[in-house]
Amino acid sequence: MLIAALRDLQWRRQRFIIAIVGTGAIFAATLVLTGLANGFRIEAQRTVDSLGIGTFMIKSGSVGPFLGASPFAASEVTAMAGGPGVTLGVPLVYSGTTMMDRGSPRNINMFGVPDRGPGMPSLAEGLPPSTPDEVVVADKLGRHVGDQVEIASRTLRVVGIVHDSTALAGQPNVFLTVAGAQQLMFGGQPLVSAIGLAGTPAQVPAGYRVVDRDDAIEDFVRPLRVTHAAFTFMSVLLWIVAALIIGSVVYLSALERTRDFAVFKAVGVSTGSVLGGLVLQAVLVAVLAAVVAGLLSLVLAPLFPMRAVVPTWAFVGLGVVALVVGLLASVAGLRRAVSVDPALAFGGP
């Protein structure tokens, strides 16, 4: 029966190839969606880690050190830097804002950080900003050292480039001095969004709290949860479509093989063996589609404007899901095979 099922695949290879390619494209779409959702967290991790800070002090009512921050007086930096358990305290300013990018507005993430020490990421080119009118930008903006950019109605000179620095679904990061960011966001007032700490404070002042790296990453990921849920929902729909495609192909094959099933039953082949042949066809199509999907996703992922990083577990999970989809899809032909009357083997054409 297994040989007969494989021979049927060969006989109807054009139909099955179309099913493999179509299902593979759907599987690839689910992998890319998974990669996009995973990319949200990957770029948040890279942004936070590039700052070189693992502990942040924020206001008690704040959600996080960046998007969820509430500004407070920069004088707290000096107080915390000399506290027990803390070897260094640096001011941080963050704001999501827009810049004019070749005549068009573009969303960016603006960080105000010290030009030396923790806060300023490693540069691929140039130097850190040293004055309020200087800025370091992500290479995604396509700018060069010496260019001028307009951020929040101010013209700044690019002095450095940082490689692959984005957050919030591909928005470029830019880095200014703390004073420069304060001028842009707070009208020059000595306010900060958070204090980056080296060490763990023995005592936190009233009205403040300390969060770690994971909380900082979650602060960047939180606004994208709805998008993540939408991607997950779309993936489930695509799995269903994939099962329907394979199921329809197996069902059509079962309809065309009615006489074959009758002959098998007439010569004593068990129903289980007949069903095994259908399951083999469906699973084989699903597994081959998963292989096509894996290769196709590697080609498609870099083409997206947002970061798409397909995790290893997604490729492994795809193989498991492909087997399940194949088994479910084979149900489409099972009922037809079971209901075939062996007497059809002796009927006329």
Burial class (CB within 10 angstroms; exposed 0-12, middle 13-18, buried 19+) of 198: middle
Q: Which residue has the higher pLDDT, 124 or 262?
A: 124
Percent of the chain clearing pLDDT 90 (strictly above): 36
Best-predicted range by mean pLDDT (74-78, 116-120, 217-221, 335-339): 217-221
Of 343 and 276, more confident: 276
- Which residues touch 10 (CB under 8 Å, ≥6 apart)? none
Per residue in 251-307, pLDDT tens?
776 666 666 666 665 666 666 666 667 677 777 788 888 899 999 999 998 888 888
Which tens digits make up the pLDDT trace of 12-52?
Answer: 667 777 778 888 888 899 899 989 888 999 999 999 999 99
Q: Which of 30, 43, 17 is nearest to 300 (CA)?
A: 30
Nearest of 101, 168, 177, 100 to residue 136 by alpha carbon: 177
| Single-letter amino acid code for the residue at 75 | S
Assign 345 a pLDDT band (cuts: 50, 70, 90): very low
Angle, in degrees to the nearest 10, between helices 225-256 and 258-266: 60
In this predicted model, what pLDDT tens digit does every residue of 297-339 receive, in sequence order?
Answer: 999 988 888 888 888 888 888 888 877 777 776 676 666 666 6
Beta-sheet pairing, 104-112 with 171-176: parallel
The neighbour count for residue 46, using CB atoms within 10 Å, is: 17
- Transcribe 144-212 into DSSP letters: -TT-EEEETTEEEEEEEEESS-EETTTEEEEEE-HHHHHHHHSTT-SEESEEEEEE--SSPPTTEEEEE
- pTM for the model stands at 0.79
43 C-beta neighbours (distance < 10 Å), count? 25
Tokens 């890279």 label which residue?
Answer: 46
